[in-house]
Amino acid sequence: TPLKELKDGLLSITSADEITDVAGSKLDENETVSITVVGASGDLAKKKIFPALFALYYEDCLPKHFTVFGYARSKMTDAELRTMVSRTLTCRIDKRENCNEKMEQFLARCFYHSGQYDSEDNFTELDKKLNEHEGGRVSNRLFYLSIPPNIFINVVKCASRSASSSNGWTRVIVEKPFGRDSESSAALTRGLKEYLVEDQIFRIDHYLGKELVENLSVLRFSNLIFEPLWSRQYIRNVQFIFSEDFGTEGRGGYFDSYGIIRDIMQNHLLQILALFAMETPVSLDAEDIRNEKVKVLRSMKPLQLDNVVIGQYKSHTRGGVKYPAYTDDETVPKDSLTPTFAAAALFIDNARWDGVPFLMKAGKALHTRRAEIRVQFRHVPGNLYNRSLGMDLDRATNELVIRVQPDEAIYLKINNKVPGLGMRLDRSNLNLHYAARYSKEIPDAYERLLLDAIEGERRLFIRSDELDAAWSLFTPLLKELEEKKTIPEYYPYGSRGPVGAHYLAARYNVRWG
Ligand code: NDP
Ligand code: BG6
């Protein structure tokens, strides 16, 4: 992969038109990979995992010998699994090409085994089938746990005892949520470690597989101009914003026992923050990167209730259409206080970031869908170009925006002279707009992460000490919110969220971007 080339010092900087991806697998001809998707009948498997595996196959990134097995309790034949999977496969990678032939080849490698999640006998049957397909080669086995967390341990127990590889590696990808707080997360880790060693556990946070999140380190550490500015000396505040323009539709049952803080902030946004704020790692090795992330997380203070605002969406009628309230979902109790929105101010107690507010905002059913990092720089000292030249000083500071999605872009807001004989300034963007710059489609996060798991690359997966550090920051707050039964601020579906988020930001002289 390009990362490996970078490590070996082989990656050359090319113009966008010259870039070609390095495809092909690193596995030996004699090796096989069997990927078992546990919970194959579920939403995530259909929506993300099978399509990502197909994309990897299409791009020639999977090893020559591979098999995909679906495993779940639902009764299905191989043919029925293939029909189900085929509905969500697309030719999005190269829209001009008719990929039906490739799809058929891929589907022919997909099989299904129905079984219980706590039955060693059922996993022994799976093992038998896997062996048949592996045909005596070195067998490597990847289990993707796309199931509710309360059955993770049962599955890991049965898979490790009855279906692990006898002569290759066995790895397990675990989907979030990794617990609800420090205690339950530690219990989950202890449970997994009864049957697996840490190196076998790949805890997925799919935001780490997003192109612009991965690019964050490249931006910081390979461009001289950013790193010297990356501190309290020049940065006024940093914002991590996640917003969806739809509610919890279809996932209300899961969401109600987690809420937005556990669903988005404690993992996706905090992971981005750690990558943003960490010190330069010793190397690009997974352990070096994860060591730095843990260090920065451990330098943070646990969240304080008075630095947090929570909200929940209520129904709203617009253009004759009635949008539901969160509690209109049948699987959500009518008196639920679960937050669907939260804003928080966090601080990092180290020399680089002392006093800089790191603001997070995450919400469902807001007016727009976006995920962004916004870095607001300090005022230019003794600014020559003051208000009389048409500048609103408060708005005239530089801002670097990393738009993770949609329409990926990195842009820097600068002040610029409006061309002409007079002297008037305006705000302009130095803009790296991905769609305009790169013709190739950006891979889905799950493609990158699945490929990394197959290749044993761990840098984009969460280590257990990172997880502990992350939960330590949020657990006291979550407990306090729940013990005090804090009432969320209600906001209309499709709005900008609770006004409290603006007061919170204003307390730190911040205007949300
Ligand atoms: P589902 O609720 O669709 O569950 C997946 C499968 O697990 C089901 O098809 C079902 O298969 C089995 N299952 C469901 N509930 C139970 C239960 N109570 N006991 C035993 N088996 C059960 O989950 P998703 O596919 O949505 O998600 C899978 C995992 O990924 C979850 O941990 C989820 O939190 C996480 N996740 C999901 C995302 C998404 O967008 N869907 C996003 C990020 C994370 P069967 O009945 O056939 O055995
Ligand atoms: C998941 C959350 O982890 O991420 C969902 O559980 C959320 O609630 C989803 O909708 C967002 O992912 P993406 O990639 O669509 O931004």
Which residue's CA is the closest to the ligand 1 atom numbered 16? 148
pLDDT digits (tens, 9 = 90+) for 410-423: 999 999 999 999 88
Given this model, what pLDDT does residue 10 score? 40
Radius of gyration of the chain (CA): 24
Residue 349's alpha-carbon distances to 60, 232, 276, 302, 510, in angstroms, are: 46, 11, 15, 11, 19
Q: Is the CB of 263 under 6 A from ligand 2?
A: yes
pLDDT confidence of residue 394: 62
**Is the pLDDT confidence value at 251 over 90?**
no
Top pLDDT among 392 and 505 is at 505
Q: Output the CA torsion 402→408→412→416 (10° steps).
A: -160
End-to-end C-alpha distance for the chain, whole angstroms: 35
pLDDT range class, residue 3, cuts 50, 70, 90: very low
pLDDT for 510 beyond 50: yes
The Å distance, Cα 206 to ligand 2 centre, comes to 8
- Residue 213 burial (C-beta neighbours within 10 Å; 0-12, 13-18, 19+): buried
Q: Which of 67-76, 81-90, 211-220 has the lowest mean pLDDT?
A: 81-90
Residue 391: its pLDDT value, please? 62
- The residue among 155, 148, 157 whose CA lies nearest residue 180 is 148
Residue 17's pLDDT band (boundaries 50, 70, 90)?
A: very low
308 vs 249: CA distance, rounded Å: 25
pLDDT in tens, 464-503: 999 999 999 999 999 999 999 999 999 999 999 999 999 9
Adjacent-strand bridge partners of 118: none
What's the average model confidence in pLDDT over 150-172? Answer: 95
Ligand 1 centroid–CA 330 distance in Å is 18
Instruction: Give the pLDDT score at 85.
Output: 95
Q: What is the C-alpha to C-alpha distance for residues 360 and 383, in angstroms, rounded to an integer?
A: 30
Ligand 2 pocket check: which of 207, 208, 211, 244 to mutate, most ligand atoms within 8 Å of Cβ?
A: 244
**Cα–Cα dist 259/248, whole Å:** 10
Average pLDDT of span 188-194 = 95
For the Cβ of 372 lying below 6 angstroms from any atom of ligand 2, the answer is no
**Cα separation of 215 and 84, whole Å?**
34
Per mean pLDDT, which range of 58-62, 140-144, 249-253 is the poorest? 249-253
Q: In this structure, what token pair is assigned to residue 315?
A: 């129904």
pLDDT digits (tens, 9 = 90+) for 124-148: 999 999 999 999 999 999 999 999 9
Answer whether residue 7 shows pLDDT above 50: no
For a pLDDT cut of 70, what percent of the chain falls above it?
Answer: 91
pLDDT at 195 over 90: yes
pLDDT score of 2: 41
What is the model's pLDDT at position 91? 75
Q: Which residues are catalytic?
A: 268
CA 128 from chain centre, in angstroms, equals 35
Q: Which of these, 173, 473, 499, 131, lies nearest to 302 by C-alpha position?
A: 473
Mean pLDDT of the chain: 91
Per the model's pLDDT, the better-predicted residue between 479 and 88 turns out to be 479
SS (H, E, C) 98-159: CCHHHHHHHHHCEEEEECCCCCHHHHHHHHHHHHHHHCCCEEEEEEEECCCHHHHHHHHHHH
Torsion angles phi and psi, residue 308, rounded to 5: -135, 140
CA distance 180 to 174: 15
Q: How far is the CA of 146 from the centre of ligand 1 (A)?
A: 6
Which residues approach ligand 1 with their CB closer than 6 A?
39, 41-45, 72-74, 117, 146-149, 151, 175-177, 254
Strand, helix or coil for residue 477:
helix
Nearest ligand 1 atom to alpha carbon 39 = 6
Beta bridge partners of 459: none
The predicted pLDDT at position 230 comes to: 97
278-297 confidence digits (pLDDT tens): 999 999 999 999 999 999 99
Predicted local distance difference test score (pLDDT) of residue 97: 67
- What 3-state DSSP class applies to 486? coil
63 contact partners, CB below 8 Å, separation of at least 6: 25, 27, 31, 32, 33, 454
Q: Measured from the CB, is residue 127 less than 6 Å from ligand 2?
A: no
In this prediction, residue 470 carries a pLDDT of: 97
Would the pTM of this model clear 0.90, i.e. be above it?
yes
Ligand 1 centroid distance, CA of 147 (Å):
4
